[in-house]
Amino acid sequence: MKKILNNPADYVDEMLDGFVAAHPQFYAQPERRVIARPEGATSGKVGIVSGGGSGHLPVFTGYVGPGFLDACAVGDVFASPSAEQMASAIRHADGGAGVLRLYGNYGGDVMNFDMAGEMVDMENDIRTATVLLADDIVSAGKDEAEKRRGVAGMIYAFKIAGACADTKADLDEVTRVAQKAADACRSIGMALTPCIVPQAGKANFELGENEMEMGMGIHGEPGIWRDALRPADQIVDEMIDRILADHPFSKGDRLSVLVNSLGATPLEELYIMYRKVKQRFDAIGAEIVMPLVGRYATSMEMTGATITTIALDDELERYLKAPAACAYWRVG
């Protein structure tokens, strides 16, 4: 296991200690495994919480910050936080206007966030709403789109929902806008090498010396096909074709695109991919607004990349461009 760590059992807690120490202007850890804004919740603003397993930095907890999330519950690597931790995150995000739970559609997270919602409802009288991120087009067909997993597209939803909440819109409105953003995202991934969950100590899947897997999920969930590594342009073409089949774009449409590394794939290669992505949307005549290329949602040291599109209308574009800041993404 080639990882820089001490005791694998301490991986997440030591990571959070360093994370908060490095960026005290953005993050505080008021309780173990709960990250919140150092200045506390904003009174009268809808709070937005997320959460999920560790191992995906900057997702989830890196997106706590002005114009983004208010708090986050942090689980073990690739494991849900507990309902108690989620309830605590909700309490820290609550500014009296209710709290939106905005997180990826994974069974364990859903059960625990539902339970957390019941807990804060009973104990703290906090009104909550839920928007699930389900942007991975490979994880279920279009007819069962609500079963899809949430992947990198979530960062657009964090940004847009955060900007809406900043206008002091009420919980219903923030929920509507977050759902609209979530619905506008489509993602697909591909992987070349696995990552190692520290407590497991071994790779979470195996791929042959020269193999890639199209459509693989961020925890190694099986994809569409596994075969010899293809040239970058061919890979991107297939990814874009699959996205377009699920959500067509036409001339004059506006969108943002995220070309995201799962961790080890270097920026150099993301730009080679982005070059092709840009060519494809130029050919359609759709305009890419605020493209993102980098490591925005990872699986530790996994090699591979995801592409996300988000179709924009005036409302979503306005919220996407509104000022926001966290340690990994700053707008305005």
Ligand X SMILES: Nc1ncnc2c1ncn2[C@@H]1O[C@H](COP(=O)(O)OP(=O)(O)O)[C@@H](O)[C@H]1O
Interface residues with a second copy (CB under 8 A) are 1-7, 11, 14-19, 21-23, 54-55, 57-58, 62, 192-193, 210, 212, 229, 231-233, 235, 263-276, 278, 291, 293, 295, 298, 300-301, 303, 305, 330
User: Distance of CA 128 to CAs 93, 109, 231, Å?
Assistant: 11, 16, 46
Shortest distance in whole angstroms from residue 204 CB to ligand X: 13
* Contacts of residue 10, Cβ cutoff 8 Å, sequence gap at least 6: none
Name residue, tokens 């490979």.
138
Residue type, 270: L
Residue, CB closest to ligand X: 108
Cβ at position 90, least distance to a second copy in Å: 25
C-alpha 47 chain-centroid distance = 18
Residue closer to ligand X, measured from CB, 63 or 106: 106
End-to-end, the C-alpha distance of the chain in Å comes to 41
Whether 247 is catalytic = no
- Distance from CA of residue 75 to its chain's centroid? 15
Closer CB to Mg ion, 79 or 157, in the complex: 79
Residues 6 or more apart in contact with residue 207 via CB below 8 angstroms = 191, 192, 193, 194, 213, 226
Tell me how far, at minimum, the Cβ of 45 lies from ligand X, in Å. 33
From 23, 56, 92, 247, active-site residue? 56
Q: Which stretch binds other proteins (CB under 8 A): 81-89, 160-168, 183-191, 242-250?
A: 81-89
Active site residue 23: no
Contact 190, 257 (CB under 8 A): no
Q: Which of 100, 118, 86 is nearest to 175 (CA)?
A: 100
Neighbour tally for 5: CB within 10 Å: 12
Establish if 107 lies at the interface with ligand X (CB under 6 A): yes
Residue 85, contacted partner among other proteins, a second copy, Mg ion, none, CB below 5-8 A by kind: other proteins
With beta carbons less than 8 A apart as the criterion, state whether 291 and 325 touch.
no
d(CA 289, CA 244): 17
Find the angle CA(190)-CA(191)-CA(194) to the nearest 5 degrees.
155
122 binds, among ligand X, a second copy, other proteins, none (CB under 5 to 8 A by kind): none
**Span interacting with Mg ion, options 16-24, 72-80, 218-226, 235-243, rule CB under 5 A:** 72-80
Residue 300 tokens read as 């530790």
Least Å from the CB of residue 107 to other proteins: 6
Q: Of these residues, 23, 92, 219, 247, which one is catalytic? A: 219
Instruction: Enumerate binding residues for Mg ion (CB under 5 A).
Output: 79
Instruction: Enumerate binding residues for other proteins (CB under 8 A).
Output: 75-76, 78-85, 107-108, 110-112, 114-115, 197, 200, 221-222
Instruction: Enumerate binding residues for ligand X (CB under 6 A).
Output: 107-108
Catalytic annotation, residues: 56, 219
